Every structure is written in structure tokens, then in C-alpha cells.
Amino acid sequence: MKRWQKIGLGILVVLALAAATIFWPQGVWPFVVNLDELAAVNDNYDVVIRRDSFGVPHIYGRTDADAAYGLAYAHAEDDFATIQQTMIAARGKLGVAYGIDAAPNDYMVQLLRIWDVVDEKYDAIPPDIQAIMQGYADGLNYYAALHEDEVLLPELYPLSGRDVAAGFIHRVPLFFGLDGALGELFAETRQNTVSEKEIGDRRLEIAHAPTPNLQSPVSNLPPTVKYGSNVIAVGPARSANGETFLAVNSHQPWAGPVAWYEAHMVSEEGWNMVGGLLPGSPTITHGHNEHLGWAFTVNSPDLIDIYVLEMNPDNPDQYLFDGEWRDLEVGEAPITVTLFGRFRWTVKRELLWSVYGPTVRQDHGVYALRYAGMGEIGHVEQFVRLNKATNLEAWQDALRAGPLPMFNVGYADGEGNIFYVYNGRIPLRAEGYNWQQYLPGDTSETLWTEYLSYDDLPQVSNPPSGFVQNANSSPYRTTLGVGNPDEASFSPTLGIDDTMSNRSLRMLALFGTDESISEAEFMAYKYDMAYSPEADVMRMVAMILAEPPPSDPNERAAYDLLASWDGQTNPENHGATVALLTFLYLLEADGTHVSVSNMTGGAFTAVSVQTSFSQAVDHLLEHFGTVDVPWQEVNRLVRGDVDLGLGGAPDVLHAIYGEMGEDGRFQGIAGDSYILMVTWQPDGTVSSHSIHQFGSATLDESSPHYADQAPIFTARELTPVWFTEETVLANLEEEYRPGEENGR
């Protein structure tokens, strides 16, 4: 729970809430919820859950809403607590559930007007989508009625489709760093300079000015965006036998609100989708149906702007805009927190809104925030339409029409099409400002209201090379040869990524040099564990080896291991141990976490590199008694009683990100997690293989599926996905309707 609070709720307002507000007691629970009454919802749905031999749920509903109901119930069986936490967060009740440390989230919910958006726009959602959202909510309601001892906050119930909508509005902006931007506003001092409008060539010089390295409560944790992801699609022209391949390979935290869960959803209304989803989602997020599939990786367009308002010296609630004083919308946010037992207090915090959006008043200025997707609610509809698309045109229509504000998307289908788009609701901004700085908040010139159209986004369709890839990298190097987007066609004001990760460099090298890729090779390339010669970790090693060999015998032994290191991070590799521990200490000295996806540590100096090398040697001697240690002894997957050695490392294709423990070993916490490898034969027949780093029971330690996939994962192997009803029944562990399961 601590990591969940930090990842999703890292806004710097706790001290302000504690010091500058008025408290009054609220006493005991304001009302009592009779959860037994929620059991009646089960009569409204017709669904069967079939668990295969790995415990993966295959949901068979008569309608789409039935399937969503069954999905919610099945996921709750495996991780009810995390799903509830996402709902409590979106409701703005984390302070009630967890106390004052969680209160910043509840302030954020009100500051961003999340529920105002839901109340205003929910009724405009198409009825079929509302039915799916309500079905999902009812699946959770029914599970709560049958498992009252697992309920975290009784007053959360009954949940409704509105809670599902609010969950997406709450969660999606966190993927592109909204929590960090809010954190800036609550720093003790102003964190950036205000851009002045530039003209002529100078604008181009400042357009890529670096963003300050801001410190916040989440800066020492690995947010989703820092972990990265891979997607690769290979078309018939480059495969060995005319197949089409797709790798769905997002790198997420291994636990918490953004950890992957695998499921298969089927309905008589045309839903047949397998893949991964996050807690609180009534649809598959990415994966494949019988016709097509897609995968996401995080991209980083500029989706957030901060404005500095010029306030009226005679009226603190007025700001200057286009030469006139405008009134701020002023209100209060009541934030209730539980202090102990059932005793609560309510805190009041100022709420402001300007023409730009949510606004915050600090001693060092009044700031407004504007971000992509503000006020939009159609996330679930977009995902349903993607799930049920049957061809590229329908799938693109769904992506084009929806509010998803970010993500690289790689696509493949049974007709042999491969496609990539740098997706985003990217603001169309006025030229002449440095949009990496704060903006003057006194002019409509900085108030953007439109987005770059979907058809004008960087994209690649069926390139001559026969493959597309992305690993949180530049869209301008999606493939080799012709077909890449032209960087000169995109304004610097869009903030489109122009960097390359090690993973992307390796995919270009591997797939670009093999003109006849078999299915076995496709899967082997995904598990590549090498660093490109261009990677920073290799540059660091070169700096160490450029110095004379050290005289200390232990350092000399480590030096020799680096000299013979092949850049691989396979489990048996000894040089990788020295290299990656050195890099860890180097990044710590630079104030950067080892999980940064690009493995970029800034401008290394010879002194800092040598110091880090010595620290790595000392670390190995202290914890292992020698510097000659295989990587798998340091790099571990730990799950309950399971403790296994791992290959892979940060920013290799088999990405593993670890947290250093007191025993001197990395314990994996993110990276490769749910992996889905898809193959379409030339006749359009689809098959796939998958793996989860732990198993289908993401929270239930008593389940046989709590860690049953971990040995397969560490061996870099995959399990078959049973996609047809015939194969599901042939590999059936349990079949039941919600509430009729045995022993779960």
C-alpha cells in the first residue's frame, strides 16, 4: 500500500493541509451500509467463468455487460483490495480509508473537478457502454456482498458505472506525469522560469531547453513512465513463412494499481479478446482478438502546461487576461481523514479555477494547470470499440475518436497489416514560446484549445522493411529505410520524443538484420539481454577500462571482469554484476534511480565513475565475499517462499528493474511482467503464448496460482493461450458462475 500511495498520490500538499486548515470532528461512520442487499444484482447477469490450468479467467457472457460483470468478479477473486483502492482513490476517499498521508489524492480529485466531469457528461455515454460500466461495478458489488470481510470501506458501496468512469479520469493523467506537475506547484519555491515570447530563429534554439530536475516525494520511486515498454510487429514480407507477429510487452510495476492482470472476455455480442488489463478496467487494455491485436508503450509528448497568473493587487481573487481583470472561481474542498479507529476530522482547502483550468495559490505565485484530455470521459467506450474492432479501419476509427491522451501503439492483424502511431491528444500551441518553461497566464495566446489531429500524428503503415517497433523511443526511428515519419514536419511545440532507448536500438539491430524471421526467432529476440554499444552503461565501462588497471587485487579482479564483459545480462554472466552495480552507484550519485528506462545518467566524470566502481567492489565483498558473482545471484524474483535467479536488466529487451535489499541483492519490482506473443498464419488463423511474472492470483497468497508462473518466467519461457472454447475446455481447472466457485 505504501508504494500505491506514493505512485498515485505524490502531491506536495500534506503540510499545507495540516498547517493551514480548520478541523472539526465528524464522529463515527456517517451511515451504515447493508452489503447484503447488493447480492440481488447477480440476478441481472448471465455469465460463466472458466479458469484454465494456470488460473487465468475466461469470461463467457451472454451480453457485453454480462462479460464485464464476470470480469469484475473474477478479478476481485484475485485482487479485490487493489481494485477497491482504485475506486476509493477516484471517489476521493483515500483519507477516510488510510488517514492523512493519503489526503493529497482527495484534494486532487476535487481540484481537477473529476466528479463534475462525471456528473455533467456520464449520461451522454452510449447506453451499451453504460451497461458495460454498470455491469463491471455490479460484479464488484456482488463480490463485496459475499465477502464483507474483504471490504476496505463499506460506504464505497454500492459502486456504479460512474465510479468506473471516474477511475479512468483519475488514473490516465498520472501516466503522463500530472502528479509530478501538481507537486511542482506545492514546492517551497517556484520551480521554473516563465517563458518570454521569442521571434525568429531564437525560438528554435530554446524549444528543446531541458526541464529542471525537480525533486518530489515520487522522484525516488519508479513511476510507470520510467519503466518503459516494448512493442514489435513483423509483417509477412519479413517473416519466414508469411506469418504476422506481434509482441505485447508493457513494462509495469509487479504489484499495485498499475500491475497487469490477464483475462479473456467473450460475449454473444461479438466480444472475444484476450490480453492484459489494470485493476478497475472493464475491458482488455491491450492484447488480441481473432482478427487483430495491439500493444502500448508510454510516449512523452508535452501534454501539461503550467501558467503563472498576474494577480490584481487590489483584489486577490482576480487575474489579468487579455488586458482585463477576470474573477477566479473560488471554492473549498472538504477533505475528510480518519485519525484513529472510526474518528474522523475534516480539513478544508481552497479550490481555485481559472480560464486555463485548476489553479493553486502559493506564497511564490498563483499557478494554473492545463493538461491534455481535461473534461473528457469516453475512455471505456474507446477501449470497447478497440476490443471489438475487426479490421484496421475500424480499429483506427476507434483510436481516432477517443480521448486516450498518449501512448505509442503498435498494431498487427490477420490480413498481414502492421501499423504504428505516436498517439496523443497533443496540444496545438502558439509558436514563439518555450513550452518547457512556465507560461505567462495573461494572454489567450498561451491558451490552447485544440489538438493535433489523429491523421497528422507520426505514424508508419506497412513499411517496406516489414517491421515496426517502439520502446519508449522516437517515432522518427520506428523502422529502417523509407516510411519513417519526417521529424521536420512536426513543430517543436508538440514536444514529441526524439531520444532512443537501448531497447529500441537493439530491436532495430536484431530485426533489421534478419530478413526471414521465424516464430522461434521472434520470441528469442524479445528476450535479448544485451546492451547496445551506444548505451550509457557501455560508455561507463569504457571509461573504467580507459584507466590503468587498479593495484588493489579485488578491484583488479572486477576490472578484468569488465574487460571481458560482452554487454550481455544473462543469468550466468559475471561481468554484468560488476557493471550494473557500478551503474547503480553512479546513478545514485547523480540523483537518478537505476530504473530510468534510457539508462541515462547525465555527464559522467572519470572521478564519479571510478568512485562508483569502488563502491560496487565493496558491495560485492560485503555481501558475497567475492567480486566474481553471477548476475542471477544478485538479480532475484522473490514471491512469498519463491526466490529465483533472474537474467535481464534495466533497459534491455528482457527488462528487469530491481530494488536493492538489505541483503545486497536486487529484488525485481517491475519490467517484463505480462507478455503476450501473437502469431497470425497466412490464412489469418491466430495463436498466442503468454506469461505473467507471478501468476493469475496477483494478491491471494493462498492460491496455487500466486507464483506458479514465476519459474517459467525466470526461464524466459511462455505458456499457450487457450483462445478457442474447445482449448479452454480441454485445459479447464474450474467452471462456475459468480458466487458458485469452490475453494476460492
Per-residue 3-state assignment (H helix, E strand, C coil) for 214-282: CCCCCCCCCCHHHHCEEEEEECCCCECCCCEEEEEEEEEECCCCCCCEEEEEEECCCCEEEEEECCCCC
Cell 518570454 sits on residue: 196
- Would residue 271 count as lying in a domain? no
User: Which cell numbers in the block locate residue 246?
Assistant: 506481434
Q: What are phi and psi of 174, to 5 degrees?
A: -70, -25
- Would residue 633 count as lying in a domain? yes
- Would residue 626 count as lying in a domain? yes
Task: For residue 524, give the H/E element and its range.
Answer: helix 519-526
| Rounded Cα distance, 357 and 360, in Å | 10
Task: For residue 25, give the H/E element and its range.
Answer: strand 24-27
| Rounded Cα distance, 113 and 351, in Å | 10
Asked whether the predicted pLDDT for residue 744 surpasses 80, the reply is no
Asked whether the predicted pLDDT for residue 212 surpasses 60, the reply is no
| Rounded Cα distance, 85 and 9, in Å | 12
Predicted local distance difference test score (pLDDT) of residue 222: 27
Banded pLDDT at 1 (limits 50, 70, 90):
very low
Could you report the per-residue pLDDT of 689-708, keeping only the tens digit for each?
A: 999 999 999 888 889 999 99
Higher per-residue pLDDT: 41 or 216: 41
* 675-680 and 666-672 beta bridge pairing: unpaired
| Rounded Cα distance, 667 and 625, in Å | 20
User: Which cell numbers in the block locate residue 644?
Assistant: 529465483
CA proximity to 403, closest of 432, 431, 388, 383: 383
Pick from 154-158, 209-213, 475-479: least confident = 209-213
Asked whether the predicted pLDDT for residue 601 surpasses 50, the reply is no
CA atoms within 13 A on the CB side of 473: 25
User: Which cell numbers in the block locate residue 470?
Assistant: 517502439
* CA angle in degrees (0–180, nearest 5) for 121-126-132: 105
Asked whether the predicted pLDDT for residue 7 surpasses 70, the reply is no
Beta-strand ranges (E) seen in 283-342 are 286-289, 292-297, 304-309, 311-312, 315-321, 324-327, 329-340
Asked whether the predicted pLDDT for residue 217 surpasses 60, the reply is no
* Widest CA span in the chain: 77
- Would residue 175 count as lying in a domain? no
Predicted local distance difference test score (pLDDT) of residue 592: 52
- Would residue 588 count as lying in a domain? yes
Asked whether the predicted pLDDT for residue 144 surpasses 50, the reply is yes
- Would residue 398 count as lying in a domain? no
Task: For residue 19, give the H/E element and its range.
Answer: helix 14-19
Instruction: Measure Cα distances from 53 to 59, 86, 127, 486, 726 in Å.
Output: 15, 29, 36, 48, 14
Predicted local distance difference test score (pLDDT) of residue 233: 98
| Rounded Cα distance, 159 and 163, in Å | 6
CA proximity to 12, closest of 88, 91, 105: 105
Asked whether the predicted pLDDT for residue 715 surpasses 90, the reply is yes
| DSSP class per residue in 121-189 | HGGGS-HHHHHHHHHHHHHHHHHHHH-GGG-S-GGGPSP-HHHHHHHHHHHHHHHTTHHHHHHHHTSSS
User: How large is the average pLDDT for residues 490-499?
Assistant: 94
Predicted local distance difference test score (pLDDT) of residue 603: 64
671 in Cβ contact with 251 (< 8 Å): yes
Asked whether the predicted pLDDT for residue 295 surpasses 70, the reply is yes
* CA angle in degrees (0–180, nearest 5) for 459-472-712: 115
Q: How many domains does the chain have?
A: 1
User: Which cell numbers in the block locate residue 692?
Assistant: 505473467
Predicted local distance difference test score (pLDDT) of residue 92: 97
Predicted local distance difference test score (pLDDT) of residue 698: 87
Predicted local distance difference test score (pLDDT) of residue 591: 59
Predicted local distance difference test score (pLDDT) of residue 77: 97
Q: What is the pTM of this model?
A: 0.91
Predicted local distance difference test score (pLDDT) of residue 606: 84
Asked whether the predicted pLDDT for residue 337 surpasses 90, the reply is yes
CA proximity to 213, closest of 503, 631, 652, 600: 600
Chain-centroid distance, C-alpha 658: 17
Pick from 210-219, 451-460, 656-665, 721-730: least confident = 210-219
Predicted local distance difference test score (pLDDT) of residue 710: 98
- Would residue 716 count as lying in a domain? no
Single-letter code of the amino acid located at 174: L
| Rounded Cα distance, 321 and 441, in Å | 7
Pick from 22-26, 121-125, 504-508, 660-664: least confident = 22-26
| Rounded Cα distance, 250 and 417, in Å | 21
580 in Cβ contact with 571 (< 8 Å): no
Banded pLDDT at 23 (limits 50, 70, 90):
very low
Q: CATH number of the domain at 565, please.
A: 1.10.1400.10
| DSSP class per residue in 631-689 | HHHHEEEEETTEEEE---BTTSSSBEEEEE-TTS-EEEEEEE-SEEEEEE-TTS-EEEE
Predicted local distance difference test score (pLDDT) of residue 590: 66
Could you report the per-residue pLDDT of 362-406, keeping only the tens digit for each?
A: 999 999 999 999 999 999 999 999 999 999 999 999 999 999 999
CA proximity to 151, closest of 163, 139, 143, 161: 143
Pick from 290-299, 464-473, 587-596: least confident = 587-596
Predicted local distance difference test score (pLDDT) of residue 394: 98
User: How large is the average pLDDT for residues 475-503?
Assistant: 96
Could you report the per-residue pLDDT of 98-126, keeping only the tens digit for each?
A: 999 999 999 999 999 999 999 999 999 99
User: How large is the average pLDDT for residues 625-636?
Assistant: 98
SS3 call for 62: coil
Average pLDDT taken over every residue of the chain: 90
Domain limits for position 616? 536-652
- Would residue 577 count as lying in a domain? yes
User: How large is the average pLDDT for residues 672-698?
Assistant: 97
Asked whether the predicted pLDDT for residue 9 surpasses 60, the reply is no
Banded pLDDT at 462 (limits 50, 70, 90):
very high
Asked whether the predicted pLDDT for residue 602 surpasses 60, the reply is no
